[in-house]
Chain A
């Protein structure tokens, strides 16, 4: 009995009763499977099979009633006429139970008809989906307000709506023995380097795993350096970020059932850019970019610099400041390093608690948090008030980074650097920075150096790093694209003022 149940490859019997038994054996203990009998043209017996909640049952019933009203004529020719009539709906033929199961799990409905040794698949998948909402993790002031959803098809549609050209390719594949997750690699044929797409495909097809639940699962398998704290792909839920990436010759990897798509290859600087940079005026965006670079360093280095200065280099602190620090540190029993560790750990704990906790409890955490990192901590004599200040600045700085993934790696790296600063002073701090720079210089994202265009130096591309150039200035494409850094067509600004005056 069991042997029959799991033998997916057995052929479909032309006898409807027999194939129904086969089907039921296959879907034994699947309480969400549904069977719906019908009579085609009032004579031929058929069974619709589908999963509850995945199929549009309304539409299915319409089809069913329409089918029973068919006139299938005389008995000899009914086989042909049934096939002809059925295929007039948008449906495909499936020869094996395996294929049929795949279709059923996608939400499609199967029709088995008496006398046919194959089944018909109706694309009626329609399940409850989350509506398209604001991208929560990456909000902007100006820019599109729609974010990806859990539905792969919707996500692809959102991208297709932005790049309306046949050269936007969407290559599909399925990964995961049990989850059979649909993965789609999207790219623009004219822009993306063919080697890049080939590489991504090879890495993806090498994944052998039981299940893929989120794009993070994929990321782990295909990134260049799994031991690095730095993300080597951007995960985004914004269609415009993905479209912008594709227009720069990057590729996107969509995963079904998650709103987060992966964009690769990237460099460190793309992690420090927000899509909104390109929507605001370029002067303002340039300023904000500089602010972000500054706070990138602040988030990484300020606690360590504070520890180093206070333990080894008191000369470097302005006299008046040192006196007030000395005053506030007087009753603190810990060395600066320990103090910094306590506070930073506390801050990370609070942040994590704030993210994880249900909303109802969240308010409590923020109240307690304000007390812990604040006046109470200082008056309890655990930490000095300058340290509270440092932690607060660092916390804000790490939230200034537009991508959560880079923010969290910076927060992680802060701790080893802090330890080194506490052991060796500014020397240790610099050693830590040098270590990070060495690591970053060797890091690659799908073959593209992580620090490009700074290292290796590509001066032409610096425009998009040191500032946010206006569109009509940034005519060159990044070097890793298909053309190897070709020029964008027509990226020029018409001389508006003088042209209209001449008329």
Chain B
């Protein structure tokens, strides 16, 4: 009986003490947090940084039906608003941003950081330190550079996605774009001698043209990649040049369409199903640094308005050759721009050489950016086109057969 009493007493004591503890310091209800779904970092004035945060407004769906004819500011199912604050550093800006909000800023789910172009040109090292150090931030968040202001990118209300975070990270997943997260950026800063890396470059649709989206031109666009050297943005590649950059960095995804450059306004288009690029560095006996770029890809014929007959082996070989030339041109063009114009190795050639020739690499490392300009390309491109699609011959050719 005595034992039973002690048992009961101890149990009660345990549970009572627990109830006393419920005011735990880090208890945070979902109702008390302002969930950030996108952050933008802009240069405000000379030494000021402007931090903008897109914050999710948790509002129940049934309230929408009540507000019948009222003005609804939201689009889709997600309502967000953008708030921003300026400070001498990111930390101060965040502190000021917090002052304006009744709820605690919650960075745990923020998956995108957009840098304004001016800020990027000034250098993002200080901001990276803050983002990576603060425990609530995500290391795997995607990074972008915006043409113009990041604030404006966040201000876009996406039509297809609930918020900017979804819109941008989904945009990154498409075949025309690429994903770069903070972890990759840091890796490249640490590993490359020039602290060179590339970040997707986006802009607001309105800046491109008003005609692309008839009613709502206000969408963020992928516009190539921006190039960084010593954590400062030095320029950007447009989408065409970026394509060559993707070929070299093995970033070509399935569903990419190659449109061949043909005379007489004819079209041959190939829909890629897969591609693989391998880089093999080589240093010749006379000290030439050569990078062999081997591309193996496969695709289906998507459109063919030319006279080339897919079914004829000879002409098919010609078609393949044309495709290869297209890819080769794209690669050499990009390489020329990287080597001559920007003098920056964002294609990780340095890393390849380091792995294979560590001794030679050590010597060259301090002035890699000059050495990079001398690297020669050796291209081995093979774009296979095994399937013609539903039509074996072009419609014009079929007409000839029936005669």
Contact = CB atoms under 8 A, between A and B. Distances in A.
B35 A323 contact: yes
A326 B58 contact: yes
Contact of B7 (A227, A323, A330): A227
Q: What size tier do the contact residues of chain B reach? A: 20 to 34
Nearest to B23: A423
B30 A331 contact: no
A327 B58 contact: yes
Given A227-B4, A424-B24, A319 B31 contact: no
Interface in A361-382: 379
Interface of B: 4, 7, 15, 18-19, 21-22, 24, 26-31, 33, 35, 37, 56, 58-62, 78, 106, 108-109, 111, 136, 162, 165-166
B59 A330 contact: yes
Interface in A153-195: none
A310 interface: yes
B60 A319 contact: no
A312 B31 contact: no
Given A323-B58, A328-B60, A336-B29, 11 more contacts: A310-B29, A311-B28, A322-B30, A326-B31, A326-B33, A330-B58, A330-B59, A332-B31, A337-B22, A423-B22, A423-B24
Contacts of A335: 27, 29
A312 B26 contact: yes
A130 to B, nearest CB: 37
A425 B28 CA distance: 11
B137 to A, nearest CB: 10
20 contacts: A227-B7, A310-B29, A311-B28, A311-B29, A314-B106, A314-B109, A319-B37, A320-B166, A322-B35, A323-B37, A326-B30, A329-B29, A329-B30, A329-B31, A329-B58, A330-B59, A331-B60, A336-B30, A379-B62, A423-B18
Interface of A: 227, 310-312, 314-315, 319-320, 322-323, 325-332, 335-337, 379, 416, 419-420, 422-425
Complex A-B, nearest 5 residue pairs according to Cβ-Cβ distance, in ascending order: A315-B108, A326-B58, A330-B58, A319-B109, A327-B58
Most chain B beta carbons < 10 A, residue from A323, A419, A425: A323
Nearest to B22: A423
Given A326-B35, A330-B31, A336-B29, A314 B108 contact: yes
Given A319-B111, A322-B35, A328-B60, A312 B27 contact: yes
Contact of B21 (A311, A322, A423): A423
Contact of A323 (B24, B27, B56, B60): B56
B37 A310 contact: no
Nearest to A424: B24
A422 B33 CA distance: 17
B334 to A, nearest CB: 34
A424 B27 CA distance: 9
Contacts of A425: 26
Nearest to A419: B18
A220 to B, nearest CB: 13
A380 to B, nearest CB: 12
B108 A330 contact: no
Most chain A beta carbons < 10 A, residue from B4, B18, B31, B136: B31
A6 B108 CA distance: 82
A427 B61 CA distance: 34
A319 B162 CA distance: 12
Given A330-B58, A419-B18, A422-B22, A325 B109 contact: no
Contacts of A326: 30-31, 33, 35, 56, 58
Contacts of B21: 423-424
A326 B57 CA distance: 9
A416 B15 CA distance: 8
A423 B24 CA distance: 7
